[in-house]
Amino acid sequence: MIPRERINLEPGYLLHSREYRDTSRILEVFTQRHGRLTLFARGARGPKSKLASLLMPFRQLLLSWSGRGDAAQLTSAEPHGDGAPLPSRQVMSGFYLNELIMSLTTRHDPQPALFDDYADALRQLASDPAPEPVLRIFEKRLLAHLGYGVEFAVEAGMHYRFRVGEGLSEVREDAPGAYSGRCLLALQAEDLRDSETLDAARRLLRQALDHCLEGRELRTRTVARSMARRGTP
């Protein structure tokens, strides 16, 4: 029998939750030393629950739980750190990060470096009015953590094609979908200040992520497209 585990005060974030029975919730959390896991939070929706106001996305918590496998019970949660809340205009970007983690990481697989990158991305989203460079850099780092990082063996004055599984190969400047070496080197350095580099990063990382998603559509992408069509700010 797998021994019953007790974990105390583990740094973590709530990625997603859903209602369970009358007053409880099932939580999908991302923790520093235990990776992504599911926890049952009994009484978390009750009228006298102290957890209801704490269990919010994008807020770092100290989580304690007891149990084994995917049947662990949350025993306590408390705030951790003084991170600023996400402004409303950045909430969709935060949910996009959460969906990437839920879609592409494996439960109970510790990813401490990815945890730090996620925390860093949230801090930047809280203070930076331009979310896209933050999202692209997180995507680049996520792919590297998953073993799908791009090898940037390129020259600034050349142009390249990217194919998943093959990487970058040199092509003519006028080849369809060509990436300039200058933009690729800027992406490698995570310097996405100009629009051409940002566009190249968006296209290349989308190719790599779509391969990892194996045809699955991200809900946050669908919602973002719908909002753009309606002109929602």
* Cβ–Cβ under 8 Å, residues 48 and 16: no
| pLDDT at position 1 | 40
Report the distance separating Cα 117 and Cα 125, nearest Å. Answer: 12
| pLDDT at position 46 | 73
| pLDDT at position 90 | 94
Nearest Cα to 9, choosing from 66, 51, 53? 66
Nearest Cα to 30, choosing from 142, 134, 135, 129? 142
Least confident of 67-81, 85-99, 184-198: 67-81
- Residue 217, pLDDT > 50, answer yes
- Residue 229, pLDDT > 70, answer no
Between residues 68 and 233, the one the model is more confident about = 68
- Residue 79, pLDDT > 60, answer yes
Distances (CA, A) of 24 to 32, 78, 79, 191, 196: 24, 18, 20, 44, 48
| pLDDT at position 160 | 97
Q: Could you identify the residue written with the tokens 């209602």?
A: 19
Q: What is the DSSP letter of 218?
A: P
pLDDT (tens digit, 9 = 90+) per residue, 32-53?
999 999 999 988 887 778 888 8
| pLDDT at position 69 | 72
pLDDT (tens digit, 9 = 90+) per residue, 82-130?
777 899 999 999 999 999 999 999 999 999 999 999 999 999 999 988 9
| pLDDT at position 48 | 75
Summary mean pLDDT of the chain: 91
Q: What are phi and psi of 115, to 5 degrees?
A: -55, -45
Q: Does domain 5-79 have CATH number 2.40.70.10?
A: no
Burial class (CB in 10 A: 0-12, 13-18, 19+), 163: exposed
Q: What is the average per-residue pLDDT within 56-85? A: 89
Between residues 204 and 21, the one the model is more confident about = 204
Q: List, by residue range, all CATH 1.20.1440.120 domains of the chain.
A: 88-230
pLDDT band at 2 (very low <50, low <70, confident <90, very high): very low
pLDDT (tens digit, 9 = 90+) per residue, 130-167?
999 999 999 999 999 999 999 999 999 999 999 998 99
Q: What is the average per-residue pLDDT within 168-194? A: 96
What pTM value is reported for the model? 0.92
| pLDDT at position 129 | 81
pLDDT band at 23 (very low <50, low <70, confident <90, very high): confident
Report the distance separating Cα 72 and Cα 75, nearest Å. Answer: 9
Superfamily grouping for domain 88-230? Recombination protein O, C-terminal domain (1.20.1440.120)
Burial class (CB in 10 A: 0-12, 13-18, 19+), 21: exposed
Nearest Cα to 187, choosing from 118, 149, 219, 140? 140
Burial class (CB in 10 A: 0-12, 13-18, 19+), 164: middle
Nearest Cα to 132, choosing from 85, 162, 90, 99? 90
